[in-house]
Structure 1
Amino acid sequence: MRLRCGVASVCAAVCAVVLAVVPSALAVDAGLWYVDATGVRDAWAQGVTGKGVKVAVLDSDVVSDYPALADADISYRLVLPDGATRCHAQDHEDIVLTVDEPYRKSSDILSTHGTEVASVIVGSGKGYDGNPGMTGVAPDASVTAYPVDVSKSNLSFNNATCMTDSGRGIAINRVLSAAIDDGARVVNMSFTSMQHPDVDTYVRALRKGVVIVNARWDTQTPGTDDLVGDPMDVTYFPGTLAVSAVGPEGKLDEGPSDTKDGNVSFVAPGARISTPNSGNPKRLSADGQGNSLAAPMVAGYLALMMQRWPDATGNQILQALVHSTKNNPWGAGKLDPAHKYGYGQPDVAKLLSTDPSQYPDINPLLEAAVTNSEAHEQTQGMYTDRTDSFWKKTLWGHTEPFPESIDVQRDAVKVGVEYERQKTAWAQVEQCRKDGGSDCMRYSATATADKADEFVPKEVKPGSFTEYDYLYASDENDEQERVSPEAYASSQTSTQSVWGCLPVWAWALIIVVLALFVLVAVLVINHRKQASPSKRRI
Structure 2
Amino acid sequence: MNSQFCRKRLPAVAALTIVGLLAAGLPASASIVDDGEWYMDLYEVPQFHDEGIDGSGVTIAVIDDAINSDVPALQGADVTVMPDSLCADSDGELLPVDTDDLELASHGTNIVLKIAGTGEGYPGQDGITGVAPGASVLFYGRGMDILEDCFTPGTGKKVFSENLVGPAIVDAVDRGARIVSLSFAAGYAGPLEDALAYAIRHQVIVLAATSNDTRQESSETLNLFNGVMGIGSLGPDGEAGTDSDGEPNATSFIDVVAPGQDVALQGADGAWDRQRIGSGTSYSTPITAANLALAMQHNPGATGNQILQLLLHNTDVDTPHEIYYDTMDYESGYGSVDTISLLADDALQYPDVNPLLTEDGTPSPAELTPEVTPSPTPSMSASTAPEATNSPSSTPSASPIDAGSSGTPGWLWPLIIVAVVLVAGSGIVAVVIASRRGKGTPS
Q: Structures share a fold, TM > 0.5?
A: yes
User: Where in structure 2 are the equivalents of 1:356-395 lying within 5 Å?
Assistant: 356-368=347-359, 371=362, 373-374=364-365, 382-385=366-369
| 1:412 lines up with 2:372 in the alignment | yes
User: Where in structure 2 are the equivalents of 1:86-485 lying within 5 Å?
Assistant: 88-89=88-89, 96-97=95-96, 102-104=97-99, 106=100, 111-150=105-144, 161=150, 164-168=153-157, 169=159, 170=161, 171-194=164-187, 196=189, 198-221=192-215, 223=217, 233-255=221-243, 258-285=248-275, 287-326=277-316, 333-337=323-327, 338-368=329-359, 371=362, 373-374=364-365, 382-385=366-369, 410=370, 412-414=372-374, 453-454=399-400, 456-460=402-406
**Does the aligned pair in 2 maintain the 1:25–1:285 contact within 8 Å?**
no
Q: Alignment partner of 1:126: what SS?
A: coil
**Does the aligned pair in 1 maintain the 2:95–2:143 contact within 8 Å?**
no
Q: Alignment partner of 2:248: what SS?
A: coil
Compared with structure 1, are the counterparts of its residues 459 and 162 closer, same or farther at alpha carbon in structure 2 (3 Å cutoff)?
closer
Which has the larger Rg?
1
Compared with structure 1, are the counterparts of its residues 306 and 162 closer, same or farther at alpha carbon in structure 2 (3 Å cutoff)?
farther
Compared with structure 1, are the counterparts of its residues 147 and 246 closer, same or farther at alpha carbon in structure 2 (3 Å cutoff)?
same
**Does the aligned pair in 2 maintain the 1:63–1:109 contact within 8 Å?**
no
Give structure 1 stretches of 5+ with no counterpart.
1-23, 82-86, 152-156, 225-229, 375-381, 386-409, 418-449, 463-538
User: Where in structure 2 are the equivalents of 1:50-65 lying within 5 Å?
Assistant: 50-65=55-70
- Return the offset for 1:181: 1.2
Deviations 1:508-536 (A, max 9, x none): xxxxxxxxxxxxxxxxxxxxxxxxxxxxx
In structure 1, C-alpha distance between the alignment counterparts of 2:363 and 2:333, rounded to whole Å: 14
- Return the offset for 1:314: 0.3
User: Where in structure 2 are the equivalents of 1:63-78 lying within 5 Å?
Assistant: 63-78=68-83
Identity over aligned residues, as a percent?
31
In structure 1, C-alpha distance between the alignment counterparts of 2:150 and 2:234, rounded to whole Å: 30
In structure 1, C-alpha distance between the alignment counterparts of 2:180 and 2:101, rounded to whole Å: 29
Compared with structure 1, are the counterparts of its residues 233 and 251 closer, same or farther at alpha carbon in structure 2 (3 Å cutoff)?
same
Deviations 1:441-473 (A, max 9, x none): xxxxxxxxx8863465535479xxxxxxxxxxx
AA in 1 matched with 2:200: L
Bigger mean CA deviation after superposition, 187-196 or 359-368? 187-196
- Return the offset for 1:260: 2.6
AA in 1 matched with 2:195: T
Q: Tell me which residue corresponds to 1:47.
A: 52
Deviations 1:401-446 (A, max 9, x none): xxxxxxxxx353447x9xxxxxxxxxxxxxxxxxxxxxxxxxxxxx
Compared with structure 1, are the counterparts of its residues 461 and 127 closer, same or farther at alpha carbon in structure 2 (3 Å cutoff)?
farther
Q: Tell me which residue corresponds to 1:403.
A: none
Compared with structure 1, are the counterparts of its residues 371 and 115 closer, same or farther at alpha carbon in structure 2 (3 Å cutoff)?
same
Deviations 1:322-353 (A, max 9, x none): 01111699x75201122120111111111111
- Return the offset for 1:218: 2.5
Q: Alignment partner of 2:356: what SS?
A: helix
AA in 2 matched with 1:251: E
Q: Alignment partner of 1:135: what SS?
A: coil
Could you tell me which of 19, 33, 39 is aligned with 1:34? 39
Give structure 2 stretches of 5+ with no counterpart.
1-28, 377-395, 409-443
Q: Tell me which residue corresponds to 2:437.
A: none
Q: How well do the aligned residues superpose, as a CA RMSD in angstroms?
A: 3.5
In structure 1, C-alpha distance between the alignment counterparts of 2:118 and 2:262, rounded to whole Å: 19
**Does the aligned pair in 2 maintain the 1:328–1:344 contact within 8 Å?**
no
Compared with structure 1, are the counterparts of its residues 457 and 146 closer, same or farther at alpha carbon in structure 2 (3 Å cutoff)?
closer
Pairs aligned (count) = 353
AA in 1 matched with 2:78: D
- Return the offset for 1:285: 4.2
TM-score, length-normalised on structure 2?
0.70
Compared with structure 1, are the counterparts of its residues 209 and 461 closer, same or farther at alpha carbon in structure 2 (3 Å cutoff)?
farther
In structure 2, C-alpha distance between the alignment counterparts of 1:56 and 1:302, rounded to whole Å: 13
**Does the aligned pair in 1 maintain the 2:36–2:277 contact within 8 Å?**
yes
**Does the aligned pair in 2 maintain the 1:213–1:299 contact within 8 Å?**
yes
